[in-house]
Amino acid sequence: MPRSNTQNKQMRAESRQKILETARRLFAERGYDGCNVSEIAREAGMSQGNIYWYFSSKEEIFRAVLVDGFEVLGTMMAEVAAQPGSGLEKLEYLLERYIALGREQGGDEFIAIMTALLGLGGVSRLAALGFDTAQIGADYHQSVSAILGQAQAEGAVEPGVDANLLTVFFFSFFNGLMMMYPREWKDIPVAFIREAAVRLLGARK
């Protein structure tokens, strides 16, 4: 029996995802210039021609990997900010999810790729790939600032420091931890990281 359109779409989606997962791993391990399309195809168990059915170039694959990484993080933060609950509950859940994403396979690979990009032009390289990093950062900032602002309004976070500045502290803390200590930070107990972040942000427990 021939496959239905739905089955074909699902298979195509699964193949595309397999390509991206394989490419993300190779980019994280070897860097953008350290692998090519044929190696991605071989590691994914596909022909090189099959790869080109989904992506026109290695650069397009790389861009898709970055899109996925930015969207996963942005969606998570926006969903936490929008969910019901107190500001402190949202903050605690944000910390839980942020740490978990950074330690999951896809998350730590994305961090490795972004860390490597800092030495390859950073913002200008991302701009050349079509990313508006200022807008991405603003969206992230808005979600976290909304959570911290709510927590302050409810008396769960010290009101002396503006929520926007606390948001800067939040990202500085985690970006520094994950990018400066990419191996070591994974060995730090989650409770210690959470406690350090809570103290930095002035949360009242």
117-150 pLDDT per residue, tens: 887 777 888 998 899 999 999 999 999 999 999 9
Which tokens is 17 given? 């995802």
Can you tell me which residue has the tokens 């961090």? 111
Which tokens is 128 given? 């050349």
Q: Is the dihedral of CA 11, 15, 16, 18 positive or negative?
A: positive
| Residues in Cβ contact with 167 at an 8 Å cutoff, skipping those fewer than 6 apart | 141, 144, 145, 148
pLDDT by residue (tens digit) across 45-96?
A: 999 999 999 999 999 999 999 999 999 999 999 999 999 999 999 999 999 9
Which tokens is 41 given? 């195809």
Which tokens is 67 given? 């899109």
Compute φ and ψ for 152, nearest 5 degrees. Answer: -65, -45
Domains and CATH numbers, the chain: 1-56 (1.10.10.60), 63-201 (1.10.357.10)
Q: What is the pTM of this model?
A: 0.88
132: phi > 0 → left, psi -120 to 50 → alpha, else beta; which? beta
